[in-house]
Amino acid sequence: MSSKKKLVIVGPAYPFRGGQALVEAHLFHVLSEMGYDCHTVSYKLLYPSIFFPGTTQYDKSSIIPFEHNDRIEFIINSVNPLTWFKAAKRIKQLKADGVLFVWWMPFFGPALSTIARLLHKAGIRIFFLVENYVSHEQRWFDHYATKQTLKYADAFISESQYITKQLNEAFPATPLYQATLSVYDYYDLNHYTQETAKAHLGIKTKKTVLFFGLIRPYKGLAKLIVAFKELLKTQPDTTLLIAGECYEDEKKYHDLISQNGLEDKTVFINRFVPNEEVEPYLKAADVVCLPYDSGTQSGVLMMAYGFKKPVVVTDVGGIAELVQDGKTGKIIPNNSTENLVHGLSAVLNNNTEDYAQNINEMIHGLGYKKLHEFIDKNLNK
């Protein structure tokens, strides 16, 4: 680029935690490396506490990837319209050539549609990076709120074929670039081997199946617990490692573990794992299981690939798009418990080094490659 174009990212940023803040950090890093002058307008209130099921919305990690707090302004309150106008005014003051909104939940539709409408009127080019078209819970107002917001887009960035299809159906005339999430490869601090990681976590079995990340109903943990009991019939020297904060009553999972006699074969860590403590969980794993009932893409999958770990995923939404069946993991058809058992067994019986090599070859093409060409083209229209 002959001169730097100013791009403003609108989305949650550190110290907020979770997938959207990770996406913002990666986008900021990648776009800055591509030569853009980047700035972020983030939220000062994301979810009102009454709507948030977890312990905290903030990341307490001591290691923050791609930290850039000097380029972040916390302006948007998701339920205070005055801040929406303030955010649009500030973006105009920054003389943005383009604004890239991170979209993942229609709850934020009123705020983001207001900001996008004001910027659109000012002639600023609008991009939406769409992680989810509607929420996983499929609330009654989702489709309306999504359409009323995304109609202001001059161009879309999708992170899966599943989302691409939804966007093309709803907005067939709007240009679209399909990327993927970045591979999250910075959690490996080289502090552990698989054996020392297992010792750290108190795992004494030969094999480990990992379920990692926030625990919500659609992620299928209950199904995995039931399947794990069957898996032990052929893989008795195996531990089920569950690590992540429950966004629902964890008692039902402990009851299910107890009812299936799995207490001695299960390690359950109910907390949000800070960045510097992620490594031993992934290092201890022989396979990472994503038994989701729905999904568009997955940061956990990209985390597993960052550690060169094979995955077992259900064939729902866009989750399986980045899995090469038999090479980087197994895709479970029909989302059944029986097939989940077969898939886990197949991976556990194979050579982990083969999976690691296949994953290493695959991940080079993932992420936001050539995104700058798409952005430049649509900035200049």
The sheet with strand 238-243 has its strands ordered as 266-269, 238-243, 207-212, 287-290, 311-314, 329-332
Average pLDDT over residues 178-184: 94
352 CB neighbour count, 10 Å cutoff: 17
Average pLDDT, the chain: 93
By the 10 Å C-beta count (0-12 exposed, 13-18 middle, 19+ buried), 300 is classed as buried
Give the per-residue pLDDT at 161. Answer: 95
Max Cα distance, the chain (Å): 65
Judge contact between 239 and 282, C-beta under 8 A.
no
Cα 299 from Cα 183, distance rounded (Å) = 8
Banded pLDDT at 157 (limits 50, 70, 90): very high
Give the per-residue pLDDT at 143. Answer: 84
CATH number for the domain whose boundaries are 6-182+366-379: 3.40.50.2000
* DSSP designation for 365: G
Using the predicted structure, report yes or no on whether residue 53 has a pLDDT greater than 80: no
Cα 339 from Cα 355, distance rounded (Å) = 20
| Residue found under tokens 């890239």 | 100
Q: Which CATH class is domain 194-364?
A: alpha beta
Cα 223 from Cα 334, distance rounded (Å) = 13
Banded pLDDT at 137 (limits 50, 70, 90): low
CATH topology identical between 6-182+366-379 and 194-364:
yes
Cα 58 from Cα 42, distance rounded (Å) = 13
Banded pLDDT at 1 (limits 50, 70, 90): very low
Using the predicted structure, report yes or no on whether residue 126 has a pLDDT greater than 70: yes
- List the one residue out of 135, 132, 307, 286 whose CA is nearest residue 211: 286
Per-residue pLDDT reduced to its tens digit, 322-378 = 999 999 999 998 888 999 999 999 999 998 889 999 999 999 889 998 999 999 999
DSSP string, 136-150: TT--TTHHHHHHHHH
Cα 222 from Cα 335, distance rounded (Å) = 13
Strands 176-178, 287-290: pairing kind:
unpaired
Using the predicted structure, report yes or no on whether residue 26 has a pLDDT greater than 90: yes
Give the per-residue pLDDT at 54. Answer: 80
Q: Where are the domains of the chain?
A: 6-182+366-379, 194-364
Using the predicted structure, report yes or no on whether residue 198 has a pLDDT greater than 90: yes
By the 10 Å C-beta count (0-12 exposed, 13-18 middle, 19+ buried), 210 is classed as buried
Per-residue pLDDT reduced to its tens digit, 273-307 = 999 999 999 999 999 999 998 888 899 999 999 99
SS (H, E, C) 236-283: CCEEEEEECCECCCCHHHHHHHHHCCCHHHEEEECCCCCHHHCHHHHH
Give the per-residue pLDDT at 140. Answer: 56
Give the per-residue pLDDT at 2. Answer: 42
Cα 120 from Cα 174, distance rounded (Å) = 15
Per-residue pLDDT reduced to its tens digit, 61-106 = 999 989 999 999 999 999 999 999 999 999 999 999 999 999 998 9
CA 258 and chain centroid, separation? 30
